[in-house]
Amino acid sequence: MPTLYHHPLSAASRYARLVLAEYGEEPTLVQKSPWQWDEQLLAINPAARLPVLVDDNELVVAGAPVIAEYLFETRGTRFGEDEPLLPPGPAERAEVRRLVSWFGDKMQAEVTGHFVHEKVHKREMKVSEGGGPPDSTALRAARSNIRYHLRYIGYLVERRNWLAGQEISLADLAAAAEISSADYLGEVPWEEDERAREWYTRIKSRLSFRPILADVIRGAPPASHYTNLDF
């Protein structure tokens, strides 16, 4: 059984968990605090970032997009699914990878990273580590930026069914990971885009989403609609 070093509200960790679940893997989860100096984490990933996968053969794979490509290359087809999470054509793959970066890098930097850092990490960090109350400027920026990302999701799924094409792909899982972290914290203004809400309903109903929906952070319970499939 593979092991995943993760943090429950880290969107990158959630992306890796979703891809693992799509391939029918139920990893041993080891929770880490990304802001703490951690010899165990540094030993397996000198970048000290989450997530890190240790596969059955002891191979260490660091970083969510790298883990996703690795699982695609080693797990092959998914049970009961015909379409691969990364399509065969180079043009289609480039579009999937562009969107994985859009959500995992851009939305993370503009939206999700702020929400998780300000509302979750800073509650658990000591003052000497930078802990304290949320910075309202950062939260305001994230609340403004998320509307733009929701509309972009709506724009894409209106034209394509799923984000990168007619079939679900790594792009949908990367985007859903970001959205789900914000949604846990009650920070997704669903009224902004009905098409984005419809897309999220579809992906949230998948079997692979259940472990994500079962997450509960100590002292920060999820928003009331978080697990509701008809939100």
Q: How far apart are CA 121 and CA 137, in angstroms?
A: 16
Lookup result for tokens 């999700």: 112
Q: How far apart are CA 51 and CA 222, in angstroms?
A: 21
CB of 175 to a second copy, least distance (A): 14
Q: 162 Cβ partners below 8 Å, 6+ apart? A: 168, 169, 171, 172, 199
Looking at the Cβ atoms of 27 and 65, the one nearer to a second copy is 65
Query: 119 with 220: CB under 8 angstroms?
Result: yes
CB of 80 to a second copy, least distance (A): 23
In the region spanning residues 111 to 170, those forming contacts with a second copy, defined by CB under 8 A, are: 152
Q: How far apart are CA 204 and CA 180, in angstroms?
A: 9
Among the residue ranges 12-20, 92-100, 126-134, 137-145, the one whose residues contact a second copy (CB under 8 A)? 92-100
Query: 213 with 227: CB under 8 angstroms?
Result: yes
In the region spanning residues 62 to 91, those forming contacts with a second copy, defined by CB under 8 A, are: 62-63, 65-67, 69-70, 73-74, 90-91
CB of 170 to a second copy, least distance (A): 12
Looking at the Cβ atoms of 43 and 214, the one nearer to a second copy is 43
Q: Is 164 helix (H, G, I), strand (E, B) or coil?
A: coil
Q: If we measure between CA atoms, which residue out of 155, 167, 145 comes closest to residue 196? A: 155
Give the N- to C-terminal CA distance of the chain in Å, as an integer.
34
Instruction: Pick from 98, 126, 140, 210 the residue near a second copy by CB under 8 A.
Output: 98
Among the residue ranges 13-21, 101-109, 111-119, 173-181, the one whose residues contact a second copy (CB under 8 A)? 101-109
In the region spanning residues 1 to 60, those forming contacts with a second copy, defined by CB under 8 A, are: 46-47, 59
Q: Is 4 helix (H, G, I), strand (E, B) or coil?
A: strand
CB of 61 to a second copy, least distance (A): 5
Using rule CB under 8 A, residue 94 touches a second copy? yes
Q: What are the residues binding a second copy (CB under 8 A)?
A: 46-47, 59, 61-63, 65-67, 69-70, 73-74, 90-91, 93-94, 97-98, 101-102, 105-106, 152
